[in-house]
Structure 1
């Protein structure tokens, strides 16, 4: 799948399905420094994702302090033709101009390779070892 580089960040697109509703998010930052995939609550509200009793809440630490997040299970996350079912993402406030971060939890799922020369994201041909 294609990656995009606008001189600052590497981005891609992904599609989420939550309780039968579909949302495509473009300009998702590919962030190998983030252990989890994080989506802004403002973006997710459009398909009915909100905090509910029982959702796990925790704090993520970053430069300048901590930020609260909660987790939500998506029916599916699609990146190009790769589908992850019943996958948990983090929902939390991101820096201005960012709607989502694609983290290592998703990148490791298919042992994705980030090819900076061709600006492509694809699964490794080497079988992943657990």
Structure 2
């Protein structure tokens, strides 16, 4: 998959599926400094992902301070032609209007390789 480099960040587009609803998310930051994949709750509201009574709230710590988040299991996360099924992601507000971060939980588990010379994200099978 081709990475987009805007001079500051590497981004991709991915698709998430939740309870039968699909959502294409553009400008997802490829973030090797984030242990978890995080999607902004405002983005996911469109497909019915909301905080529900009983969802545990956690705190994430980062350069910008702390932010609350909760987790949900997405039925599918599609990156190019690769599909991940039943994967838990974090739902939390991201700084500077960012939509989502693709974190190390997915990048490492599925052996993605970031080719900075050719600006590509590939699977190392």
Normalised by the length of structure 1, the TM-score is: 0.92
**Following the alignment from structure 1 to structure 2, what is the Cα–Cα distance between the partners of residues 109 and 118?**
22
The CA distance in 1 between the partners of 2:97 and 2:8, in whole Å, is: 13
Question: Greater share of helix residues, 1 or 2?
Answer: 2
1:17 matched to which residue of 2?
17
Partner of 1:128: none
Q: CA deviation at 1:64?
A: 4.6
Gaps of 5+ in 2: none
What RMSD, in angstroms, separates the aligned Cα atoms of the two structures? 1.0
3-state SS of paired residue (1:42): helix
Could you say which residue in structure 2 is the equivalent of 1:121?
121
* C-alpha separation in 2, matches of 1:56 and 1:90: 11
Partner of 2:85: 85
Cα separation, partners in 2 of 1:64 and 1:112, compared to 1, 3 Å? closer
TM-score by length of 2: 0.96
Number of residues paired by the alignment? 125
Instruction: State the match for 2:59 in structure 1.
Output: 59
1:62-83 C-alpha deviation (Å, 9 max, x unpaired): 2353110000000000001111
